[in-house]
Amino acid sequence: MRHAVGRLVAAVTVSTLLAACSPGGSDSVSTPPSTPTSATAAPEAAPQAPKVGRGTTAQKSVPLTPEEQRAQVASLMVVGVTDYDDALAKLQEGAGGIFITSWANPELLTTPGRNIVALREAVGRPFSVSIDFEGGRVQRHSGILGPRYSPRHLAETMTPQQVEEHARHLGNSLRWHGVTVNFAPVLDVDTAALEVVGDRSFSRDPHVAGEYGAAFAQGLRAAGIVPVYKHFPGHGQASGDTHHELAVTPPLDQLKAHDLVPYTVALADVPAAVMVGHMVVPGLGDGQTPSTLEPAAYDLLRSGDYPGGVPFDGLIYTDDLSGMRAITDRHPLPLAVSLALGAGADQALFSNVTDFPAVIDAVVAAINTGQIPAGQIAESAQRVRLQQRESGF
């Protein structure tokens, strides 16, 4: 899995350098709801919870045609979309999933003939539909999906069982509107009082953060939504906000004793996907590369090499590679995606892209020059297919 970043930088030709930090990308904050509610008009009946996070087995790699290889690579990308036409174009290019951004046209969630149901009919193959909906400051299209309290408020006013029920109501609303993946709950521990974390964290106590995060994830699963724990290996003690700058955490040993505790608690209780954040962790890999691009970060999660950790074979997402300056100040998008997939990510997430085919081209080139093992890409593609199948789409 380990590949020298310098070699991959030299091997991948890039043609697009995207704008730095977009205001509504993954994890961008929004105004808290004035009238939170846990009720929705969505039906209570929900599909069986998806089985993510355990037992994935990759199929044996077989030679692919160039067209098959390109389709396989594209399936590992989750792309931000603005409206029906934009989503259709990116899905026709092979995107494995779409990301409903804060600036996306609400018709994707509401309008017959221009919504996600219509997209599925037009595309004719499985794909994921993801959104950021934590509650509080981070909740997309809450006017349609229903506003929710922040994670901190939930933990301070509800039992874990009540939070599970709250999240099930939210999950029903998401599923009713076509969403299959929610980039929540946050497992960061609000240790350093960072504004970017704050009430997005369930607690300053790592065990409480893990317990309530697991309850939230279980509620989503009960509604047929794939939950995504974030931001591994922990943003709570970082030096700053990765939306705006490169942020450094305390050394890995300190993260293992504190910030990784919620993952020990939550992953042992409720399977989910995991999102890796952009933090630099001293003692992890070269100690200079953001975790999303650092093979050692994925090795840490896969191996479970932290107190109480267990090997993880579920789906791993990157945080937004196109809307956060910890990445965009250093790498154009095609290179960032290549580095992330080469490091071990299964799904590269980016909210903005002006030339999606160029991103696919860059990854294909890295595979063909041996910088990314084809077998590694095949394993990730198999995890993606498993999640799509178990989500019912």
* Block residue for tokens 């590269």: 348
What is the average per-residue pLDDT within 37-57? 38
pLDDT for position 261:
98
Rounded percentage of the chain residues whose pLDDT exceeds 70: 84
pLDDT greater than 50 at residue 210: yes
d(CA 168, CA 224): 9
Catalytic positions are: 243, 319
Domains in the chain, ordered, with CATH? 5-28+48-391 (3.20.20.300)
What is the average per-residue pLDDT within 130-155? 96
pLDDT for position 373:
95
- Cβ(108)–Cβ(130) under 8 Å? no
What is the average per-residue pLDDT within 221-230? 97
DSSP string, 1-60: ----HHHHHHH--------S--TTSTT---PPPSS--S--SS-S--PPPP--SS---PPP
Secondary structure class of 229 (helix, strand, coil):
strand
d(CA 66, CA 15): 21
pLDDT band at 388 (very low <50, low <70, confident <90, very high): confident
More confident residue, 95 or 5: 95
- Cβ(259)–Cβ(37) under 8 Å? no
- Residue 250's φ and ψ, nearest 5 degrees, are -60, 170
d(CA 125, CA 365): 25
- Cβ(94)–Cβ(75) under 8 Å? yes
Secondary structure class of 236 (helix, strand, coil):
coil
Q: Which of 3-7, 345-349, 375-379 has the lowest mean pLDDT?
A: 3-7
pLDDT band at 192 (very low <50, low <70, confident <90, very high): confident
